[in-house]
Chain A
Amino acid sequence: SYELTQPPSVSVSPGQTARITCSGDTLPKQYVCWYQQKPGQAPVVVMDKDTERPSGIPERFSGSSSGRTVTLTISGVQPEDEAEYYCQSSDSGGRYPVFGGGTKLSVL
């Protein structure tokens, strides 16, 4: 089955920049959607189609894509950004959604 690979954890201090990566063989030709999930809550989209920030999402969230890797960048991390982040794309045939394994962002 197709897989999207994320680092299990990323740790940063408040005000620093956090970069969370998502890698997959078909990402050069497929978009990625990023979700933020805080404990006890449903996920929320924080980045659409690699680089499109939905309305209501702070400007410190940005996205980029390079080859097999898509990156969610949070500049000037705030304590409230501590959460689990999931990338999601489509399978290698583009037939159904696939989630990455998630990255726990810790704000120390």
Chain B
Amino acid sequence: QITLKESGPTLVKPTQTLTLTCTFSGFSLTTSELGVGWVRQAPGKALEWLALIHWNDDKRYNPSLKTRLTITQDTSKNQVVLTMADMDPVDTATYYCVHSLRELQLRSGFFYYNMGVWGKGTTVTVSS
């Protein structure tokens, strides 16, 4: 059974750096085309994909947030860490860790991503 659990601060101040940890079980991030990523959801808003790190350390970032995000993995601990710099009140959201299976679509040459398993999410409030 695949599980993911997010951990990190519930409150951060503006301009601080947020560090979130995803601890997972039931799979290995060394398995081909698997990835672990982060998705957030501001209150009452849509899902927003943030970042993904794959089995081969291939990292993908949301272009609109790329300069603020860093995703890393510790395969020995089954953990993925996301840091987001320069936090702002608009970054207040629930942050979800996700298990992602990536597949190359032969008809387009594009990757298809199935984020099939999600953690319960952790709520982060940005306020002074």
Q: Give the B-binding residues of A (Cβ under 8 A).
A: 1, 26, 29-31, 33, 35, 37, 42-45, 48-49, 54, 86, 88-90, 93-102
Q: How far is A44 from B120 in the complex, measured between Cα atoms in Å?
A: 11
A27 CB to closest chain B CB (Å) equals 10
Query: Could you say which residues of chain B place their CB within 8 Å of the CB of A101?
Result: 46
Docked-complex contact B113 and A45, CB < 8 angstroms: no
Q: Does B62 reach chain A (CB closer than 8 Å)?
A: yes
Query: Could you say which residues of chain B place their CB within 8 Å of the CB of A44?
Result: 118
Docked-complex contact A93 and B110, CB < 8 angstroms: yes
Q: Give the A-binding residues of B (Cβ under 8 A).
A: 37, 39, 46-49, 52, 60-64, 96, 100, 105, 107-116, 118-121
Q: How far is A95 from B105 in the complex, measured between Cα atoms in Å?
A: 12
Docked-complex contact A98 and B46, CB < 8 angstroms: no
Query: Could you say which residues of chain B place their CB within 8 Å of the CB of A1?
Result: 63-64
Docked-complex contact B48 and A45, CB < 8 angstroms: no
Closest to B104 in A: A94
Q: How far is A88 from B101 in the complex, measured between Cα atoms in Å?
A: 13
Query: Could you say which residues of chain A place their CB within 8 Å of the CB of B46?
Result: 86, 99-102
B97 CB to closest chain A CB (Å) equals 10
Q: How far is A73 from B77 in the complex, measured between Cα atoms in Å?
A: 41
* Given A29-B108, A42-B119, 18 other A-B residues pairs in contact with their CB atoms under 8 A: A1-B63, A1-B64, A29-B105, A29-B107, A30-B105, A35-B115, A42-B121, A43-B115, A45-B114, A93-B110, A94-B109, A94-B111, A96-B63, A97-B100, A99-B48, A100-B46, A102-B46, A102-B47
Q: How far is A1 from B120 in the complex, measured between Cα atoms in Å?
A: 28
